[in-house]
Structure 1
């Protein structure tokens, strides 16, 4: 950010974590039925704001059984090796992903094929999704644009996408979300190959590309098309 001094920002205290969680879920978490669940869910976030925010948004307006299932998933989650990333952040973001509708999951993963910090024009996103025939029940570009707008808004409200601060009708992914999205794609959708923006000069080494549905080699230095 160009600041003069770099300093560490600590995690939130238990009281601060609960206050933030309660504010974001916009419901009475002091209700005796779910208050203990809310405390345990917040504890699993380990004071990390990005984890608290994504879990709270995922659980907003959900019933007690969804909360219980989310708590079990957070407790069962195992560490995934993403350099410098707290395992609670990974498990929290993955939980938020599981609560998305099928089409929203596809769009979320598709946005991750762009390089880090890439600003994605909304109309470009609509064009790609139309070409991929993601919305099989829609017949016109107008309908696809409306559906994409709705899903984009849902992803933004879930903190999985960000509206670009300088460019209207553009979205992007936070670097942390971007890394976790790649991890999720490898786990749940191994037909993705994403090697964008890493200065590649040759195609990645693979036995076959026939099993892939999406390949992203944007912003590299590859000069020849693979034969």
Structure 2
């Protein structure tokens, strides 16, 4: 872990341990029958602040003596992984982990549909060496089935956020923010090093579904010599220095997750490599140097989530016609210039992210045929074809459509989930964008001389709530033959004008 100043954190004496424990659990520790048990539990934490903080959420609000007796017995029976000072905390974290099960059942008892397993969600976090982007984590949870059954992407995502908050409340995760390119900030969670060690230890003994290979952040340059069991379910080679994925790799017929992100030196993936993972549901190759994907990716028929964010050398994808089960395709910040062939076959796709790439002259016909798509982020060339009939957009819960290439890095304020950004466009024919704008809440224009005057004059944008215009030349004066409305933007709540000529 990196820090500005390193300090040695000493263990607490018995009095300090009790003060920290009782202050966080509350007055319940002073009840006559609970007080001696609470003192013993605090003593079992052996003066380690992390152990105390981890166990507190599991005991807060517990008034039954039996629960305190059971907690104390469980703590005393737990055995640490290895005999070093830090491992005194293992038994506490292990006990708190098993207490998650009862909390999960209590939260879900009034819910009819299966809601997923909070313990499995926690164990999945052991595959990551550092900060974990929340979106990526939820997409992976959903893909491997540990979020339970949900009818929509929105439901699955919201439940994922709920589970993350529960893990935060239990002190297993903590909020963190990670800066990415173009000054954008990604919301992340992180896990204390000791908790991650215990997480990996528990995962190794928790059942077949959690058999994992964790070889992250250790400087690997190649993986052909790594011993892998054919029964492995999850593989993590995150944050290494891998340069090439081998022809010959151990067959992993049960593997559902393969995490290879943050391998900046990875340039080549052989055709045979993906053939070793026929049951793969999650593939993450973000922040790698790959220039192309082998056609064998089309053989991953069980794939649910494919993440290729920030692959700055990636210019083309092979056909994806056989990926019928794909739900999330995330290719933001790549050099892709066109959608892959076979997109029309992705009938289960819920989320498509092509933001901060530029797909060139694109027709929206392929996208409009994706009837289950509800979340779309895409950047297209200004010469793209914009069909006036955009009724397909009624299916979208959230979208960000960017038109043109910004000459500067921009991160415009988009208050809503339904935004259109237009950059450096000299002109649009009348009504060319109006079909899409009917469904937008936000419109951002940068360096556009596109006849906004006519666009507004001949249309009504009842849904538009935010309009931001920067470095443009436009006029709002009514034009002859226009609608004559004095208020073409009746529901506008926010108007921002910067360096606008000819007002």
TM class by smaller structure? 0.7 to 0.9
Counterpart in 2 of 1:75? 76
Higher relative contact order (CA 8 A, sep 6+): 1
SS in 2 for 1:170: strand
Q: Structure 2 CA distance, aligned partners of 1:10 and 1:221?
A: 36
Counterpart in 2 of 1:182? 200
Bigger mean CA offset, 136-145 vs 164-173: 164-173
Name the structure with the higher strand share.
2
Pairing of 1:82-121 with structure 2 (within 5 A): 84-101=84-101, 103-115=117-129, 117=130, 119-121=131-133
Name the structure with the higher helix share.
1
Counterpart in 1 of 2:173? 161
Bigger mean CA offset, 133-142 vs 146-155: 133-142
Following superposition, the deviation at residue 165 of structure 1 comes to 4.8
TM-score by length of 1: 0.88
Contact 1:11 1:49 survives alignment (8 Å): yes
**Unmatched segments (≥5 aa) in structure 1:** none
**Unmatched segments (≥5 aa) in structure 2:** 105-116, 179-184, 250-272, 274-503
Q: Structure 2 CA distance, aligned partners of 1:114 and 1:85?
A: 24
Contact 1:27 1:61 survives alignment (8 Å): no
Q: Structure 1 CA distance, aligned partners of 2:7 and 2:127?
A: 32
SS in 2 for 1:86: helix
Pairing of 1:14-93 with structure 2 (within 5 A): 14-62=14-62, 63-81=64-82, 84-93=84-93
Contact 1:156 1:162 survives alignment (8 Å): yes
Q: Structure 1 CA distance, aligned partners of 2:4 and 2:194?
A: 20
Q: Structure 2 CA distance, aligned partners of 1:49 and 1:10?
A: 9
Q: Is residue 197 of structure 1 aligned with residue 199 of structure 2?
A: no
Q: Structure 2 CA distance, aligned partners of 1:87 and 1:168?
A: 32
Counterpart in 2 of 1:220? 240
Deviations 1:170-221 (A, max 9, x none): 1111111111111111121451221111122224213x32x12211112223
Deviations 1:84-124 (A, max 9, x none): 54332111111111111361111111111012x2x211111
Following superposition, the deviation at residue 40 of structure 1 comes to 0.5
Q: Structure 2 CA distance, aligned partners of 1:213 and 1:139?
A: 25
CA RMSD of aligned residues (A): 2.0
Pairing of 1:124-139 with structure 2 (within 5 A): 124-139=136-151
How many residue pairs are counted as aligned between the two chains?
Answer: 220
Counterpart in 1 of 2:158? 146
Deviations 1:133-185 (A, max 9, x none): 22333221111111111111111111100100555521111111111111111
Contact 2:86 2:194 survives alignment (8 Å): no
Moved segments of 4+, more than 6 Å = none
TM-score by length of 2: 0.41
SS in 2 for 1:164: strand
Which has the greater radius of gyration?
Answer: 2
Following superposition, the deviation at residue 7 of structure 1 comes to 5.4
Q: Is residue 122 of structure 1 aligned with residue 107 of structure 2?
A: no
